[in-house]
Amino acid sequence: MKVLTIDIGTGTQDIFLYDSTLDIENGFKLILPSPTLIVHRRLKRLLPTRTPVLLSGYQMGGGPSAWAIEEYVRAGLPVYMTPDAARTINDELEQVAALGITLVSEDEARQLQDRLEHIVLKDFDFPQIAATFQQYGVSLDDLSAVAVAVFDHGNAPPGVSDRQFRFDYLDQRIRAHNSLAAFAYPAEAIPPILTRLQAVARSAGTLPCPLIVMDTAPAAVLGSTLDPVVAARPEAILCNIGNFHTLAFRITPEGIAGLFEHHTGEIDRPKLERLLRKLADATLTHQDVFDDMGHGALMYTDRPFHFEHHPFDVVITGPRRSLFRTPSDGDPNTLRPYFAAPFGDMMIAGCFGLLVAAAELLPHLGETIHASLRNQGRPSAPWEV
């Protein structure tokens, strides 16, 4: 049985092919530039040529791609976008048009695409991934599932803060299903407000198997719980420091006891430690984070978590985890991090979280996946398959 997992961030897209006939550590993996970074680099290369561009396709991750598109417009160059592609910049299309971007219909785009540099936007390109594996003699024709993670703010109504809207959604989801896997959905059950997850499902086209989609940070934190040091704890503070967003959960045997999410660019180690301590002692408020330009915080307990009961105070994962390696002014009370590496690889923690979520949402796969994650039986090495 095979499950393809793809964790799509701002800097990289991390790909892990689970094969039940192999040890987890022998699974094939790829760490590649993220789709938004690929678009960014392509536009930066085109900019000196002053070539007009047409962007069609689907809503995808913004950040680098959106910055490059806006730079193109500021340079006085024609940029045409279809409505779905334009939502990469803003769900409110009149704001996209206000930047100087020309919005065109799908029919108009088909007429223009041969006369302009044409770039198709999408977070998930299954044919490209399948072709890459095929070049190394690995077929994806026999997949049992595909699981993809992206970050989705949610489509906030006009005049409503994206940050507040996201935290209202997180609160509703946790109250209804208190687990990290609650942030994963079968493709056919994605809530309408999660437009980027829906775009992933549309861009997938016809797959040979079911598709699961999930939010990136919960996927990474869920994956980090497979690290044996983390798994041995009944309660923990787990923090994923991503390239754009830092999200920390307080996890108990009963589920999620609290969380906060901030923009990584707005924090340093002392600020992050203060937030983590307040998350631990149950004094963190939504306004503590929201008023500091973060997304917000949620607390579901007033019971403090005592760091001193553990050899490591906080579990850290994510591509910007080096932030926690910076000096903390020699303070002897600084938090002691444990850098989680499930199955020996921090970069694909999100892929392992996706695998756990797939096991929950697709029960017919659950027993086999969980047996692999517990290292039960004797899977083969690649040359034995």
* Mean pLDDT computed over 152-172: 91
233 and 328 co-located in one domain: yes
Q: What is the pLDDT of residue 306?
A: 86
- The CA distances from residue 147 to 1, 2, 282, in Å, are 14, 11, 33
Q: What is the pLDDT of residue 309?
A: 61
Q: Who's near 93: CB < 8 A, 6+ residues apart?
A: 83, 86, 87, 103
Q: What is the pLDDT of residue 186?
A: 98
Q: What is the pLDDT of residue 328?
A: 62
Tokens of 328: 């903390």
Strand 184-186, strand 12-19: pairing: unpaired
- For the chain, percent of residues with pLDDT exceeding 70: 95
Domain count, the chain: 3
State pLDDT tens for residues 345-370: 999 999 999 999 999 999 999 999 99
Q: What is the pLDDT of residue 84?
A: 96
206 and 78 co-located in one domain: no
What is the rounded distance in angstroms from the CA atom of residue 15 to the CA atom of residue 3? 11
Identify the band that residue 9 occupies on the pLDDT scale cut at 50, 70 and 90: very high
* Mean pLDDT computed over 378-384: 65
Alpha-helix residue ranges (DSSP H) falling in the chain: 35-46, 64-74, 83-86, 93-98, 106-112, 126-135, 162-176, 195-204, 216-224, 228-231, 269-280, 286-290, 349-361, 363-373
Domain that holds residue 279: 228-340
26 and 40 co-located in one domain: no
pLDDT at residue 191 greater than cutoff 90: yes
Question: How big is the chain by its Cα radius of gyration, in Å?
Answer: 21
More confident site: 272 or 326: 272
pTM for this prediction = 0.94
175 and 258 co-located in one domain: no
Q: What is the pLDDT of residue 228?
A: 94
Q: What is the pLDDT of residue 375?
A: 78
215 and 331 co-located in one domain: no
* Mean pLDDT computed over 163-188: 94
- For the chain, percent of residues with pLDDT exceeding 90: 87
Q: Who's near 368: CB < 8 A, 6+ residues apart?
A: 1, 20
State pLDDT tens for residues 76-110: 999 999 999 999 999 999 999 999 999 999 999 99
Which of these three, 73, 96, 121, is where a domain ends?
121
CATH number at residue 194: 3.30.420
Q: What is the pLDDT of residue 365?
A: 97
Backbone angles phi, psi at 92, to 5 degrees: -90, 105
Identify the band that residue 326 occupies on the pLDDT scale cut at 50, 70 and 90: confident
CATH number at residue 62: 3.40.50
Q: What is the pLDDT of residue 377?
A: 57
Tokens of 283: 């004094």
Q: What is the pLDDT of residue 381?
A: 65
State pLDDT tens for residues 54-83: 999 999 998 999 999 999 999 999 999 999
